[in-house]
């Protein structure tokens, strides 16, 4: 089966219902994982996020509406369409499901053409939503998170780090700035400046992988380092700066670029607060202050 086939989670306490969904979705080329209850499905979300969720409305234990509420409370699942299924002739539960964010509903017994049509519609909708959200949250030049999205992720990361206020989990914020960037624009032109910014963004993606990174603004970038204490963050930043100093943009091989960096770490000069907002402000202020100390001390270095 194609690795890019949509992954569907089907949750139904009826074994016959699960088998029917598995058969119809399987014949259409979808990958299906079926579960007899939401509770049984929970661990699967840690393994892989589905492209679409089908869930029965009426189930013992956690019912479909409660499950839908759980799904919508998870940011990672916010754009995953949920289709409710029900054998009930009433509409009250289905209306409530739509109010809570369900995309659609299907009545039992299943009609395969109807299931496939509604699944295709939901997947098309999800793709459009993802594209719109990506455009709204990512920088068009670099493809990295834009400033607003970077700050949102930073707040989420700081909140997670500060859950144990008296002993915060390791979390660092790295701020990077291209040295002498104005001279690149002045002497080589703005297309060359754009090429430098894209090169730095590409190196950030390759070096930091799945870690959240973004364009803070202009020639500045930010990288979130959950699990990194101060020494680890500084060592990582130094390695990245060394990598950049050996690189040059495509078509501009004679151009050498360096970065200055500032590191801020929760628990190391940045205290946790109950609202978390102050923690984010302190992280940004500390990283920014250290970045400009690096500039004053000669650039192409890390300060913390």
Could you give the residue numbers annotated as active site? Answer: 219
Q: How many CB atoms lie within 10 A of CB 157?
A: 24
Interatomic CA distance for residues 138 and 113, integer angstroms: 37
CATH class of 147-303: alpha beta
> Is pLDDT above 70 for 164?
no
Same fold flag, 7-135 and 147-303: no
What would the mean pLDDT of 46-56 be, rounded to a whole number? Answer: 93
Residues 6+ apart with CB under 8 A from 108: 17, 85, 86, 87
Interatomic CA distance for residues 130 and 67, integer angstroms: 22
**8-state DSSP, 92:** H
**8-state DSSP, 234:** H
Cβ distance 266 to 230 under 8 Å? no
Instruction: Please compute Rg for the chain using Cα positions.
Output: 24
Q: How far, rounded to the nearest angstrom, does the alpha carbon of residue 120 sit from its chain's CA centroid? A: 24
Residues 6+ apart with CB under 8 A from 243: 203, 207
Cβ distance 115 to 134 under 8 Å? no
Direct distance between the N- and C-terminal alpha carbons of the chain, in angstroms, rounded to an integer: 50
Superfamily name with CATH number, domain 7-135:
Response regulator (3.40.50.2300)
Give per-residue pLDDT as tens, 165-214.
Answer: 567 789 999 999 999 999 999 999 999 999 999 999 999 999 999 899 99
pLDDT at position 140, please?
Answer: 93
pLDDT at position 1, please?
Answer: 41
Interatomic CA distance for residues 97 and 71, integer angstroms: 12
Q: Mean pLDDT score of the chain, rounded to an integer?
A: 90
Q: What string of DSSP letters covers 74-135?
A: -GGGTT--EEEEE--S-SHHHHHHHHTT--EEEESSP-HHHHHHHHHHHHHHHHHHHHHHHH
The whole-model pTM stands at 0.72
Give per-residue pLDDT as tens, 79-111.
Answer: 899 999 887 756 677 788 888 889 998 888 878
> Is pLDDT above 70 for 19?
yes
**8-state DSSP, 145:** B
Name the residue among 112, 56, 43 with its Cα closest to residue 82.
56
Torsion of CA 267, 273, 278, 280, to 10 degrees: 50
Give per-residue pLDDT as tens, 138-151.
Answer: 999 999 999 999 99
> Is pLDDT above 60 for 3?
no
Token pair listed for 125: 């909708």
Interatomic CA distance for residues 57 and 52, integer angstroms: 16
Domain extents in the chain: 7-135, 147-303
pLDDT at position 274, please?
Answer: 59
Question: Which residue would you say has higher pLDDT here, 75 or 158?
Answer: 158
């Amino acid at each position: 089966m194609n690795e890019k086939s949509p992954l569907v989670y089907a949750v139904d306490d009826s074994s016959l219902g699960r088998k029917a969904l598995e058969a119809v979705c399987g014949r259409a080329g979808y990958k299906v994982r079926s579960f007899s209850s939401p509770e049984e499905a929970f661990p699967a979300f840690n393994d892989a996020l589905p492209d679409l969720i089908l869930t029965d409305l009426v189930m013992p234990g956690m019912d479909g509406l409660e499950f839908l509420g759980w799904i919508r409370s998870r940011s990672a699942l916010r754009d995953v369409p949920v289709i409710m299924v029900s054998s009930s002739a009433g509409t009250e539960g289905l209306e409530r499901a739509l109010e809570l964010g369900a995309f659609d509903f299907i009545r039992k017994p299943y009609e395969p053409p109807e299931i496939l049509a509604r699944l295709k519609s939901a997947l098309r909708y999800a793709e459009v939503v993802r594209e719109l959200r990506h455009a709204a949250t990512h920088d068009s030049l670099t493809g990295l998170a834009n400033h607003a999205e970077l700050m949102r992720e930073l707040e989420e990361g700081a909140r997670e780090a500060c859950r144990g206020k008296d002993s915060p989990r390791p979390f660092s914020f790295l701020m990077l700035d291209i040295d002498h960037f104005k001279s690149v624009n002045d002497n080589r032109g703005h297309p060359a400046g754009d090429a430098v910014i894209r090169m730095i963004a590409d190196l950030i993606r390759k070096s930091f992988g799945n870690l959240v990174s973004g364009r803070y603004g202009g020639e500045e970038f930010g990288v979130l380092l959950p699990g990194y204490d101060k020494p680890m963050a500084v060592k990582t930043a130094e390695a990245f700066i060394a990598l950049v100093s050996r690189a040059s943009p495509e078509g501009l091989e004679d151009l050498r670029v360096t970065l200055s960096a500032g590191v801020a770490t929760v628990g190391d000069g940045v205290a946790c607060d109950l609202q978390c907002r102050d923690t984010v402000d302190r992280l940004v202020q500390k990283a920014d202050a250290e970045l400009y100390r690096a500039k004053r001390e000669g650039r192409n270095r890390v300060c913390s």
